[in-house]
């Protein structure tokens, strides 16, 4: 069966959440949004392409920072309304220059910073 990006379930803005996970370690790196065109571009190029809600434009991860996400596997959930992209991540995934966007935790009611920015 041939995959058609338009068969995914997008929200009212035409977007679907995409979670990026390191293909080797399993570490969750980030969450961003895709539309049908960014899904198609990702699958065609092998470079993960998101939709930037703030800039209203396509965003190829690493295009300006060099922190590239090379697509290893593209998955979608049972309801077809959420994506999981397994990637080979070069450098930081987070715009704060951390390996992952999930660098904070709440423990005993306190915010704990789990990692510092990469040097």
Domain that holds residue 62: 5-113
Q: What total number of domains does the chain contain?
A: 1
Let me know if residue 68 belongs to a domain. yes
Q: Report pTM.
A: 0.93
| CATH code of the domain in which 87 resides | 3.10.20.810
pLDDT of residue 55: 93
Query: Burial of 82 by CB count in 10 Å (0-12 exposed, 13-18 middle, 19+ buried)?
Result: middle
The DSSP result for the chain, as a single string, is ----GGGS---TTS-EEEEEEETTT--EEEEEEE-HHHHHHHHHHSB-EEEETTTTEEEETTTTTS--EEEEEEEE-TTS--EEEEEEE-S-SSTTSSS-S--EEEETTEEEE--PPP-
Torsion of CA 76, 88, 25, 3, to 10 degrees: 20
Q: Tell me the sheet residues that pair with 16.
A: 34
Let me know if residue 118 belongs to a domain. no
pLDDT of residue 119: 80
Each residue's pLDDT, cut to its tens digit, for the chain (119 residues) gives 999 999 999 999 999 999 999 999 999 999 999 999 999 999 999 999 999 999 999 999 988 889 999 999 999 999 999 999 999 999 999 999 999 999 999 999 999 999 999 98
Let me know if residue 38 belongs to a domain. yes
Let me know if residue 119 belongs to a domain. no
Let me know if residue 83 belongs to a domain. yes
Let me know if residue 99 belongs to a domain. yes
């Amino acid at each position: 069966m041939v995959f058609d990006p338009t068969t995914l379930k997008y929200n009212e803005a035409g977007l679907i959440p995409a979670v990026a996970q390191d293909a080797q370690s399993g570490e969750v790196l980030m969450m961003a949004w895709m539309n049908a065109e960014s899904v198609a571009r990702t699958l065609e190029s092998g470079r993960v392409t998101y939709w930037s809600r703030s800039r209203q434009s396509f965003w190829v991860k690493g295009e300006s920072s060099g922190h590239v996400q090379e697509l290893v596997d593209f998955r979608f959930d049972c309801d077809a309304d959420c994506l999981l992209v397994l990637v080979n991540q070069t450098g930081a995934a987070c715009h704060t220059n951390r390996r992952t966007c999930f660098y904070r935790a709440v423990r005993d009611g306190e915010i704990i910073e789990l990692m510092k920015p990469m040097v």
